[in-house]
Chain A
């Protein structure tokens, strides 16, 4: 996605002469402008009421103490100061950052690996079957795949431990031990999203000019050199898009944890979004919850803006 439009796609600019004479805008042009506003009105109203308004309200609430029953009381940046000594916040943000790191490495790693493998000259039907198999989990709700996985992860009755012990390993308490609870969340997240990353990579790989690769091969470059020096730079835009998507997605991780571990044991696998929901809707500490939510917004905004900015510099366009 991009915010800018190639100049050739922009509609013709209005003639300069007309701008200087207000009041003499032709009826047709006024009609067109009115139509433009009418066409965009529902979207603009939706944006104001359900996105921009709530965003501004959240920033305001983050500066107040508010428990729903009594009106919000302005307390300045107290909520933000309070975050620094909130150990549960540190724990949940820590977990979330771990999920983000794992998502970036694993989802994109597996996505790229499978994309490279699938992009070879294989029989068409085979390519189709593989692509479908990898993509399907992405279409299924995270809640549903988590429900399946929590059954597979069960310590005594789950299939994973059955095969693990059959291979001579020890049973793992996937869902209730503080280390493996996080691992389980990461496994499900990777399993569901790698197929999407793969699709993006495949689409990018197909745009790599074959003659350029052929020329490098003629010059004696081996496959690994070709991959590092030609293919990777050529698909950097897709890589960057994927990394951004995985960062944004993993910062918002929520329902898989609810189904798998309920955030436990203790807070061992709890994400920051679960913590926000708990503070807001169980403890009704709306001001503080808003403040935490605003930090999440700032992070996601910075990541998105960084993508737009960096895309122009180090990302290779053509």
Chain B
């Protein structure tokens, strides 16, 4: 193991004898990485295979890892069962889309203002806003519940949309982006007689296209995956979001029809898979930059 390079790419070693060691180390590394990758993917593979199998054989052992048949009846069963999964999915989609649209409108505007405009109190407001990142959802949930109850918004998607359309994280990400824009671009627009709104809308915002898309994707996934607040604000099967619907379908102690539950879970995971295939690179870049570059 001494030949495993701890985080450093192997250097070219001059002698032949020494060069054999990294090969052994690399083989061990790749073997370990394969074991890890299998552990990461196997549960998803099992989910998918089980979703295609007859419900009666879902728990057959030894487990079949690859689909033996392509039988989609569990998917039909899942969407026509007592829990209205399709309605739940629609609810999730409406909330996630509304929240994402709201966020990609409000966060870039605020981020631009904090990065590029002068106004009294700017820095204190920004620090206050950022401090909201350390307020966990569990602390505000009780007053929010009472607030939604007062305004009759319980069991209504607005109870999740309204608090979701603004947020400090998006403002922070976009502010970082706008700080990096060359001042000349802004000045040039000003020289041409553009006011602050026009400079933002016509010059700065189009340049932020990638940052805004990333924010949209992250916001969408966050909302699509959310469980805590929906489980408290929504309390009927018709208004439930997809995660709530799936937990209902699973039933207490996993008593539900496992093949159908896995079919529904496969459907529920699909958006994450699409995002993953399309936008993996951006998401990784934006998630890591804040941690490493500080």
Q: Write the B16-46 contact mask toward A (1 if CB under 8 angstroms, else 0).
A: 0000000000100110110011011101101
A32, A251, A294, A305: residue with the most chain B Cβ atoms closer than 10 Å: A32
Q: In the complex, are the beta carbons of B106 and A231 less than 8 A apart? A: no
B191 within 8 A of A: no
Q: Write the A134-159 contact mask toward B (1 if CB under 8 angstroms, else 0).
A: 11110111111101111110100101
Q: In the complex, are the beta carbons of B227 and A255 less than 8 A apart? A: yes
Q: In the complex, are the beta carbons of B138 and A139 less than 8 A apart? A: no
Q: In the complex, are the beta carbons of A47 and B3 less than 8 A apart? A: no
A68, A140, A259, A286: residue with the most chain B Cβ atoms closer than 10 Å: A140
Q: In the complex, are the beta carbons of B287 and A119 less than 8 A apart? A: no
Give the distance in Å from the alpha carbon of A1 to the alpha carbon of B289 in the complex.
9
Q: In the complex, are the beta carbons of A31 and B196 less than 8 A apart? A: yes
Q: Write the B146-166 contact mask toward A (1 if CB under 8 angstroms, else 0).
A: 110000000000000011011
A262 within 8 A of B: yes
Q: In the complex, are the beta carbons of A210 and B9 less than 8 A apart? A: yes
Q: In the complex, are the beta carbons of B139 and A58 less than 8 A apart? A: yes
B70 within 8 A of A: no
A54 within 8 A of B: yes
Q: Which chain B residues (208-267) contact chain A, with CB distance < 8 Å?
A: 221, 224-228, 231-232, 243, 246-247, 250, 252-254, 258, 261-262, 265
Give the distance in Å from the alpha carbon of A246 to the alpha carbon of B253 in the complex.
28
Taking the nearest CB of chain B, how far is it from the CB of A147, in angstroms? 5
Partner of A196, one of B44, B224, B262, B287: B287
Q: Which of B72-80, B82-90, B120-128 contacts A (4 or more CB under 8 A)?
A: B120-128
Q: Write the A187-215 contact mask toward B (1 if CB under 8 angstroms, else 0).
A: 00001000110011011110110100110
A237 partner residues in chain B, CB cutoff 8 A: 291-292, 294
Q: In the complex, are the beta carbons of B195 and A31 less than 8 A apart? A: yes
**Interface size grouping (class) on chain A:** 35 or more
A252 within 8 A of B: yes
Q: In the complex, are the beta carbons of A120 and B136 less than 8 A apart? A: no
B189 within 8 A of A: no
Q: In the complex, are the beta carbons of A140 and B272 less than 8 A apart? A: yes
Taking the nearest CB of chain B, how far is it from the CB of A63, in angstroms? 13
B289 partner residues in chain A, CB cutoff 8 A: 203
Q: In the complex, are the beta carbons of A135 and B284 less than 8 A apart? A: yes
A310 within 8 A of B: no
Q: In the complex, are the beta carbons of B228 and A255 less than 8 A apart? A: yes
Q: Which A residues form the contact surface with B (CB < 8 A)?
A: 1-3, 5, 9, 11, 14, 29, 31-37, 39-40, 42-47, 49-55, 57-58, 61, 68, 110, 113-122, 126, 129-137, 139-145, 147-152, 154, 157, 159, 162, 166, 191, 195-196, 199-200, 202-205, 207-208, 210, 213-214, 217, 222-224, 226-227, 231, 235, 237-238, 241-242, 248, 251-252, 254-255, 258-259, 262, 273, 276-277, 280-281, 286, 289-290, 293-294, 296-297, 300-301, 304-305, 311, 317
**Can you give 10 contacting A-B residue pairs, CB < 8 Å?**
A1-B294, A5-B179, A40-B114, A42-B105, A42-B110, A50-B140, A121-B10, A122-B26, A148-B262, A237-B291
Q: Which B residues form the contact surface with A (CB < 8 A)?
A: 2-11, 26, 29-30, 32-33, 36-37, 39-41, 43-44, 46-47, 50, 59, 61-63, 105-107, 109-110, 112-120, 122, 125, 127-130, 132-147, 162-163, 165-168, 171-172, 179-180, 195-197, 200, 221, 224-228, 231-232, 243, 246-247, 250, 252-254, 258, 261-262, 265, 268-269, 272-273, 275-276, 280, 283-284, 287-292, 294
